[in-house]
Structure 1
Amino acid sequence: MWRILLLTVFLTGLATPVLAQDLPWQACRGAIGPAGPVLSDCRPIRDFIDPQGRELWIRSTLGAPADTRPRVLYVGGVASSEAWFNGQRLGANGQPGATARAESPGRYQAIFPIRESAWRPGGNMVVLHLSSFHGGLHFARPMSAIGIGPYPYAQQIVPLAVTFVAAGTLLAAAFGFGAIHAMRRTGSSLILTAMAGVAALQAIVESLRTLFDYSYPLHAWRMSAIWALAAAFAILLVSYASTRFLPKARRLMTGLAIGMVGATVLLPGFDLKTVWALILGAGLAALPAAAGVRMRVPGAQPTLAWLVLFLTLALGFPEWLADLSYFLLAAGLVLPLLMVEVVRLGRDDRGREAALTRAASRPDRLTVASARGVELVPIAEILAVVGADDYVELRLVGGRSLLHAARLDGLAAQLPASFLRVHRSVIANLSQVQRLERDGDRWRLHMREGAPLPVSRSRQPALREAMDVPPPAMTAVAP
């Protein structure tokens, strides 16, 4: 686990920080004239470019490049765009307009090539026409990047590859925990299945911007999904830690996590929402883990160490949490837990085999195998055995019942002669019978406690003979 976590810090320094050179921009009043854009009343943009719910004209001036490498204008954000360079139209991404009806939504990312002949020795003017009427949600910073840079620009290959590896690892862990849950039906394995699956799905959604050139209105759905998945992981993390180390406070901690993590939806900016959802989840999960360390619960100490490291990296490098380090940290948690669970299941199986061996020498008891383990049940305490698909239900004295992983036919051969099959799905313990009674055109076998059992017509003669009861024509049955 420590190798994976240290790899997170190392890979943080390998990623490409920017795709293109940012430019100082001015917002203007603009219109398209015969010779290109006509701008007036230009003022510097001191904060950020925001075309949401309006039509926006912006311009910037830059010098000529020092080399002859091809250059492009890179525009990424929630907007349709149209670009000019020194009065020459570079192209359009969708079609910006003054209203939603006039606008045709473009892609979230667009690249406009700049011909080498278009550059001038002195100043060069870039003009952008933007609008955003189909974003769906209001973004705190709608434009991720607008700038000019070399082409092809440096791709973020290493972070993307690492994210894919982490996603594959998390999917494999989800499958492993799902298989464990199918065999053992434990609550912790189900939670870990969901945690690994949610983290893997978020890694896939996070990579969509690099892999697919989607339309900008879909960006709101993508960012909403990223926050929702991060919030789900955070809540599941708290639920797992509480279930594992402080079960008495599980409902309280899970409810607290739902409230606090859910409140991050009110924060500005989806990156901030996502980062704080994960930070709050890890912080709340650290409380039951710390309690487990105090009570010396096995596994609490490494879990707490992982959570502390998670919080340290999240608070120290928040800009990398949602994009890269979170997926590595999630994989670093679920993989060791999967290995521990596999080892524990092996020990449980060996213990079950030993219990079955010991039970073979106890003919007065029935060895009941279920998802939770093995229990030796005194045969005298069994009222009836009722078939339930591939399982049987053992109805016991005192109102208790157990599910036994056995078939009714096989179990009938194991039980002593005091047990008789009275229905195709029922075996009754005759030593616990009170009476046989008519119920309309049907018969019911009343036991010393519990609900009466159905009796089929074909099995009535054998039952009457075993109970030493005359047939109906010879005796009256009590109403």
Structure 2
Amino acid sequence: MSNAPGNGLQIPTLKRLLSSWVVAPYIIATLLLALPSLLRPVDGENTGELISVALSKQSTGPWQSIDLNRLQLPDNHGWMRAVFTLPVSSTTSESTPLGLYLSGTFSARVLWNGEEVGQKGVPGLSPNDESPGPVDTILHLPANTLSPGNNVALIELSSHFRQHSLNTILHGSETLPGLRLASYSAETRRPISYYAAPLLIFALLLVAVFVIASTSVHQQTLALILATALAVASAAEIFRAFYAYPYSWHMLRLGLLACALMVFACILPFYTARRADIVLPTILLPAVMISGITATLLAGPPQDIVHAALWLTVPVSVALTISSIRSGISDSRMLLCALGCLMFSLVLDKDLFFDQYLYVAVIPLLAVLCRPRVAPEVHPVMKNDSIPERLIVNSAGRKKVLDISAILSIQGAGNYAEIKLADGESVLDDRPLKQLLTLLPKSFARAHRSYLVNLEEVKELRSLGAGKYELLLSDGQRCPLSRTHVGEVRERLSQTP
């Protein structure tokens, strides 16, 4: 097949895209996004609709309408009156048995149409009277207690061991509400299909942690922390599908999950900054992490705090990555696409964000974390070990030959590079610094994300205090020297004859 331009995408190019994980992560993410709905069992027609719900301090009323998304119990005890409507087909002796699904940080005793049908723990007026029930429970509704039309569930509730930072004691989402009727099941735990995304991602994350730890990927330590934090969060998420723990344990699980994701949120900008050759003060990292974890545990609903933190750190990471692309770090485009996927997930259904969407959205980022990257300052070995004496400059469609010995420094200028010569002349080249560095001899080094310098023309390395440095060149020019490169430049200057 011809490789001439204008023939469209060629097979070699397609192979490179697939082999470098440019396309595959997004295909996997799309499949995982649809997986929970494909695996979720269908309840069928044997379900009832919740038409009204009210709360009272007494079992006899008076009743006050409530929002289940903001359900709190005065004095941690109360009575709920929930009215469900059932079709005739659900109340016959041949109908599939019905169950009342209760999920949340409360204990409960249920009377269905006046008959007691079961308990979720033991509710009580005081902590001493209450035995915390499991976080998820399914109560069987006998056929003789069901009637066509409206059915009343009178539920005694207590939540003395609840977490006060949560908005509601009732858990669930639109697809899996914490108070609902459905076909009865003896399995009280959350369905594993609901956690299909974090479960599969957990397996990928374990592989990723091994890959990052055993290979030389860019910024290995930060990448390892990011992957480990996600693995801890996904493990805490899927734990609910394996064990119906007492609701008093819920904050331990939720706190672990939220703290792991807060670590992920705090580390992400530092990782993207390092990839962009931007050095953020190292002392900021532990301070940011401690502040984030403290806010997660004390300031409010943990998931709300983490969601807000991601809304702050993901855009910052996007801005840093765009800066690195402008500086000529071309493989940052893959990171930018991954961050864009994560950014998009933040605007989706918030209830499902921590259960599904987040873990789907991090798949492209995971591919970036595991992908080795050659740092810009590393020179490839020339096949003939020769030292180039001239550089052909591409500028406005014209070619110009420069003596490399006459080049003092090269400064990134948007999509161009400004080459500064010993005679004071400046020449523009339409290639990024990263590409030019591969064409220059080893006497050239990256001093800053926007500067290359000829080390043979450096007269002095100056410390300006507060972690800032600069290089003084033979013509009096001053070039900034970032802390990322100061160690390497100092070492190579000591080796320069």
TM-score by length of 2: 0.61
Task: Give 1:280 deviation, angstroms.
Answer: 2.3
Change (3 A) 1:158 1:308: same
Q: 2:181 aligns with which of 127, 130, 148?
A: 148
CA contact (8 A) 2:83 2:151 kept: yes
Change (3 A) 1:202 1:174: same
Aligned: 1:333 with 2:365: yes
1:72 has 2:96 as partner: no
Q: Please list, as runs of the form range in 1=range in 2, the aligned pairs for 1:240-279 lying within 5 A after superposition.
A: 240-249=271-280, 251=282, 254=285, 258=289, 261=292, 265=296, 268-279=300-311
Q: 1:236 aligns with which of 260, 267, 275?
A: 267
Decide whether aligned partners of structure 1 residues 155 and 104 sit closer, same or farther in structure 2, where only a CA change above 3 A counts. closer
Distance 2:257 2:190 in 1: 22
Per-residue CA deviation, residues 186-205 of structure 1 (Å, 9 max, x unaligned), is 88111111111111111110
Structure 1 segment 68-217 matched on structure 2, within 5 A: 68-121=95-148, 123-144=150-171, 145-152=178-185, 156-180=191-215, 188-217=219-248
CA-CA distance at 1:79 after TM superposition:
0.6
Q: Distance in 1 between matches of 2:276 and 2:103?
A: 46
| CA distance 1:256–1:173, shift in 2 (3 Å) | same
Pair 52,279 (structure 1): closer, same or farther in 2 beyond 3 Å: farther
Tell me whether 1:226 sits opposite 2:253 in the alignment. no
CA distance in 1, matches of 2:79, 2:109: 10
Tell me the SS of whatever aligns to 1:288: helix
**Contact 2:50–2:85 under 8 Å retained in 1:** no
Contact 1:61–1:123 (CA under 8 A) maintained in structure 2: yes
Residue identity in the other structure for 1:78: T
Deviations 1:64-102 (A, max 9, x none): 433322111111111111111122111112111111111
Secondary structure class of the residue paired with 2:72: coil
Give 2:145's aligned amino acid: A
CA apart distance, 1:51: 2.7
CA drift at 1:160: 2.5
Question: Could you say if the C-alpha distance between residues 108 and 305 of structure 1 is closer, same or farther in structure 2, counting changes exceeding 3 Å?
Answer: same
SS in 2 for 1:41: coil
Please say if 1:3 is aligned against 2:27: yes
Larger gyration radius, structure 1 or structure 2? 1
**1:306 paired residue among 338, 341, 350:** 338
Q: Does 1:60 align with 2:82?
A: yes
Where does residue 412 of structure 1 map in the other structure? none
Paired residue secondary structure (2:63): strand
In structure 1, C-alpha distance between the alignment counterparts of 2:80 and 2:42, rounded to whole Å: 21
Residue in structure 2 matched with residue 49 of structure 1 by the alignment: 71
Do 2:35 and 2:196's aligned partners in 1 also have CA atoms closer than 8 Å? no
Partner Cα separation in structure 2 for residue 285 and residue 138 of structure 1: 29
- AA in 2 matched with 1:45: I
Query: Which residue identity is paired with 1:43?
Result: Q
**Equivalent position of 2:481 in the other structure:** none
Give the CA deviation at 1:264. 5.7
SS in 1 for 2:81: strand
Which digits, 9 at most, give the CA deviation of each residue in 1:105-147, with x for residues without a partner? 1111111100011113454221101101112443111111122
The 10-residue stretch of structure 1 (81-90 or 122-131) with the greater mean CA deviation from structure 2: 122-131
The question of whether the paired residues in 2 share the 8 Å contact of 1:72 and 1:149 is answered with: yes
The equivalent of 2:347 in structure 1 is 315
**Alignment partner of 1:286 out of 299, 309, 318:** 318
Segments of structure 1 that go 5 or more residues without pairing to the other structure are: 31-37, 356-479
Q: Distance in 2 between matches of 1:138 and 1:17?
A: 33
Q: Distance in 2 between matches of 1:17 and 1:240?
A: 40
Mean Cα deviation higher: 107-116 or 326-335 = 326-335
Correspondences of 1:453-472 after superposition (within 5 Å): none
Are residues 304 and 259 of structure 1, via their aligned partners in 2, closer, same or farther at CA, if it must alter by over 3 Å? farther
Taking the aligned partners of 1:160 and 1:300, their CA distance within structure 2 comes to 31
CA contact (8 A) 1:237 1:281 kept: yes
**TM superposition score normalised by structure 1:** 0.63
Report what 1:26 is aligned to. 54
CA distance in 2, matches of 1:282, 1:17: 35
The 3-state SS of whatever aligns with 1:148 is strand
Query: How far apart are the structure 2 equivalents of 1:246 and 1:285?
Result: 13
How far is the alpha carbon of 1:274 from its aligned partner?
A: 2.9
CA distance in 2 between counterparts of 1:113 and 1:101 reads: 28
| Equivalent AA in structure 2 for residue 176 of structure 1 | V
Q: For each residue in 1:352-400, what CA deviation from the matched residue of structure 2 results, as whole angstroms up to 9, or x when unmatched?
A: xx99xxxxxxxxxxxxxxxxxxxxxxxxxxxxxxxxxxxxxxxxxxxxx
Query: Is contact 1:105–1:134 with CA below 8 Å preserved after alignment?
Result: yes
Give the letter aligned to residue 148 of structure 1: L
Matches of 1:122 and 1:316, distance apart in 2: 36
Aligned Cα root-mean-square deviation (Å): 3.5
SS in 1 for 2:280: helix
Letter in 1 for 2:325: V
Larger relative helix fraction? 1
Cα offset, 1:52, TM superposition: 6.7
1:247–1:253 distance in 2 versus 1, CA, 3 Å: farther
Deviations 1:25-75 (A, max 9, x none): 122343xxxxxxx52322322564323742111112333433322111111
Amino acid at match of 2:128: R
> Where does residue 402 of structure 1 map in the other structure?
none
- The alignment covers a number of residue pairs equal to 340
Identity among equivalent pairs (%): 18
Quickly say closer, same or farther: Cα 1:307–1:261, change in 2 above 3 A: farther
Q: 1:148, 1:159 → 2: CA distance? A: 17
Contact 2:258 2:306 in 1 (8 A): yes
